[in-house]
Amino acid sequence: MAVEVKIPAVGESISSGVVSVWHKKSGDFVNSGDALFTLETDKVSTEIAAETSGVLETLVPEGQEVKIGEIVATIDDSKKAPEAVPSEKKKSVADGVDASPARTVSGKQTASPTKEKSADGETLSPAVRRIVDEERLDPTKISGTGPGGRITKADALAAANKKSVGGAADASPARTVSSEGKQAASPAEARQSGDGRVVRKKMSPLRRKIAAQLVMAQQTAAILTTFNECDMSAVQKLRADSQDAFTKKHGVKLGFMSFFIKASVEALKAVPVVNGRIEGDDFIENNFYDLGVAVGTERGLVVPIVRDADKKSFADLEREIGDFAVRAREGKLKFEDLTGGTFTVSNGGVYGSLVSTPILNFPQSGILGMHKIMPRPMAIDGKVEVRPMMYLALSYDHRLIDGKEAVTFLIKVKECIEDPKKLPLDF
């Protein structure tokens, strides 16, 4: 009996997605729980698993946009898994060739499947494997820069970039085979102009969503940005003095982001309107603190939510932020990880940004921008001293928040960073 594989509902506001890569091919036997394909939506990428065991037949090619509930494959659960029959290795005295293990399927002997390996013979890491699958790269043609020639994530991304602009990283055509056996061009396939000066390719669902959200925020809210600066000396000293003990006790390093999340919570408590939002003609006041932390990935910016940030310790925050960063870059964030935030903190300083005007994460009313720490001469008690300074930027919805409230918020953040004892330290 053929069991239909349908696109599942992955969130209330998501109506479609793209089958970015098939992990199994037509004719493969799959077990219940095996990852069949990756569905990329405008919010997250998620692996869809088989609900039953059987032989798979795919109905849509990689790169095709599909609707929620659409049938994309069938699994014939009447067919059983082929039994592997190991054969003894036989070495030919004449030519010295070592016979490979084989398996028997329906009376025919076929080569045993092997895991794809990188140039140094090691299996690819999950992150590299994902890029290789999605970009249809040949690992044997990628030069590894890792230890022993191992292919790193950066190597795979560089190969994918060369391929998108007509490079020779992957000589195979970026085409897929439909269920009828005909070749079909992937909707995401890059198209290069005749003179090679222009490459056109479709934006990913995530990038399209980011673009739509940014335009919506600009067109809907009255965005204004106010600035301040803070002296990072006290936080840097506290962090340096506590780092070894903190790492040994909790198993994670103490970073700057946890300080700014804690400082933001204190500022939101002092100026509650910044933690609210406008909904129609109503003002929604949030009495909880679910803070978004902007994370940059190769596919675009995502903002996972730290729930109840006011109730979490510094160690809890550092662990959660680290986990979000890893899962965001591997495309493993879930829909619920990205929804429901009340305020956002973004750190452009990790990329070297000195100052910027962050755009609201709609429908939130405020976003705090952190920036690069720079040593600058400052007047301290009538003397000039060089201090590690950071510019802070608060973008806010001026329909809801007045300038006085925005400035008060930033000053509160500044005070908490310059005197960390005002924070609930729990090292």
Q: Are residues 256 and 183 in the same domain?
A: no
3-state class (DSSP) for residue 34? coil
Q: Are residues 333 and 227 in the same domain?
A: yes
In whole angstroms, what is the distance from residue 264 CA to residue 317 CA? 13
Position 375 scores a pLDDT of: 97
235, two tokens: 């936080």
173, two tokens: 């055509």
* Residue 398 C-alpha from the chain's centroid: 31
In a domain, residue 88? The reply is: no
CATH number at residue 273: 3.30.559.10
3-state class (DSSP) for residue 129? helix
Q: Are residues 213 and 185 in the same domain?
A: no
Would you write out the chain's pLDDT as a tens digit for each of its 427 residues?
A: 789 999 988 765 677 888 888 999 899 999 998 989 988 876 677 788 899 999 999 999 988 888 889 999 999 988 877 765 554 444 443 444 444 444 444 444 444 334 444 444 456 766 677 677 666 687 888 888 776 777 877 777 777 766 654 443 333 333 333 333 333 344 445 677 778 889 888 777 777 777 888 898 899 999 999 999 999 999 999 999 999 999 999 999 999 999 999 999 999 999 999 999 999 899 999 999 999 999 887 777 889 999 999 999 999 999 999 999 888 888 788 878 888 899 999 999 999 999 999 999 989 999 999 999 999 999 999 999 999 999 999 999 999 999 999 999 999 999 999 999 999 998 7
Q: Are residues 276 and 322 in the same domain?
A: yes
Give the CA angle between residues 60, 64, 68 to the nearest 5°.
Answer: 85
Q: Are residues 263 and 339 in the same domain?
A: yes
Listed residues 28, 58, 76: the one ending a domain: 76
Q: Are residues 417 and 279 in the same domain?
A: yes
Position 246 scores a pLDDT of: 96
> Within 10 A of 12 (CB to CB), how many other CB atoms are there?
8
What torsion, rounded to 10 degrees, do the Cα atoms 274, 276, 280, 281 define? -80
Q: Are residues 61 and 121 in the same domain?
A: no
Strands 223-231 and 295-297: unpaired
Catalytic residue among 34, 77, 310, 398: 398
Listed residues 190, 216, 245: the one ending a domain: 190
Cβ atoms of 378 and 386 closer than 8 Å = yes
Listed residues 46, 76, 106: the one ending a domain: 76
Please write the tens of the pLDDT for every residue from 228-264: 999 999 999 999 999 999 999 999 999 999 999 999 9
Please write the tens of the pLDDT for every residue from 302-349: 899 999 999 999 999 999 999 998 888 887 888 788 888 999 999 999
Q: Are residues 140 and 253 in the same domain?
A: no
User: Is there a catalytic annotation at residue 23?
Assistant: no
In a domain, residue 97? The reply is: no
- The one-character DSSP state at 190 is -
In a domain, residue 199? The reply is: no
- The one-character DSSP state at 80 is P
User: Is there a catalytic annotation at residue 308?
Assistant: no
Q: Are residues 227 and 277 in the same domain?
A: yes
Domain count, the chain: 3
Q: Are residues 171 and 318 in the same domain?
A: no
In a domain, residue 100? The reply is: no
In a domain, residue 346? The reply is: yes
In a domain, residue 202? The reply is: no
Q: Are residues 308 and 354 in the same domain?
A: yes
- Residue 408 phi/psi, 5° resolution? -60, -40
Domain that holds residue 248: 207-422
In a domain, residue 195? The reply is: no
In a domain, residue 83? The reply is: no
Q: Are residues 213 and 277 in the same domain?
A: yes
Catalytic residue among 120, 241, 402, 419: 402
- The one-character DSSP state at 123 is B
